[in-house]
Amino acid sequence: MDLKNKVTSLVHIRGAMIFEFFSPGIPIVLKNAGCEFIIFDMEHGGLSFEQFKTLAIISNSHKISPLIRIPEVRYNYIARALDLGASGIMAPMVNTAEDALRVVYSSKYPPLGQRGAGFGFAHDNYINENPLSYIQKANNSLINIIQIETKKALENVREIAAIDGVDCLWVGHFDLTNFLGIPGDFTSKIYLDAINEIIMAAKYNNKSLGIMVNNKRELETYSKLGFNMIAIGTEMKILSESISQILKLS
């Protein structure tokens, strides 16, 4: 079962978010660690499209799905990232159903969207196949992850979740607490009520739920709540804490 089918079937999927270490070896390291997908961050991490293209080609050749968080919802970011080999898009700061529709339309070929056609490039592994069959395959296999991370997005989450082409609601947990006026308070009733609202919207519309976690305890907590698409991050924090633990034992 490919990643898209797992997402639409609400199967448990585990991966990682990469913000800093854009080394060519990272996809292989994460594949060996048991990850099924990688979300490469372009919003905060300084990733360039040239770097992402290399990482996407390596990821795809090693059967680990490369996703990318774009800096903002714009056609050029979405279509270009997909042409470079992304299996899907994570869109930040989506506040309304109109914002989510823009993501869908920018990512899909006609008649489902407005993505421009270019074939035989990285996104189809440089294979010159029938463009019509590729268009259908691309439209069916693309994964659109919509971040719910503002108060306005929370108010519109049911309308966002109802859109065809939105595959996963992803909680931007720290930003969500910021915009709800409770920065970093993940035990607040306000935050927990917001999480419940997002869960209900996803369940009603049969959409996947995603979040990034820092440790095993958080992974288990959100899994029990119904989050099926979970990424581990940040790699900087994990590396720092792992080295720190070793140094403390010496």
Within a domain: residue 153?
A: no
Within a domain: residue 26?
A: yes
Contacts of 248 (CB under 8 A, 6+ apart): none
Average pLDDT over residues 92-115: 97
Within a domain: residue 224?
A: yes
pLDDT at 134: 85
| Overall domain count for the chain | 1
Whether the pLDDT of residue 118 is over 90: the answer is no
pLDDT at 129: 76
Whether the pLDDT of residue 5 is over 70: the answer is yes
Q: What is the CATH number of the domain that holds 133?
A: 3.20.20.60
Within a domain: residue 195?
A: no
Q: Which domain holds residue 74?
A: 3-142+211-249
Within a domain: residue 22?
A: yes
pLDDT tens string 7-53: 999 999 999 999 999 999 999 999 999 999 999 999 999 999 999 99
Query: Nearest to residue 117, comparing CAs of 136, 103, 131?
Result: 131
Whether the pLDDT of residue 250 is over 70: the answer is no
Q: How many helices (H) and strands (E) does the chain have?
A: 12, 8
pLDDT tens string 143-193: 999 999 999 999 999 999 999 999 999 999 999 999 999 999 999 999 999
Within a domain: residue 179?
A: no
pLDDT at 224: 97
Within a domain: residue 148?
A: no
Q: How confident is the model at residue 120 (pLDDT cuts 50, 70, 90)?
A: confident
Within a domain: residue 159?
A: no
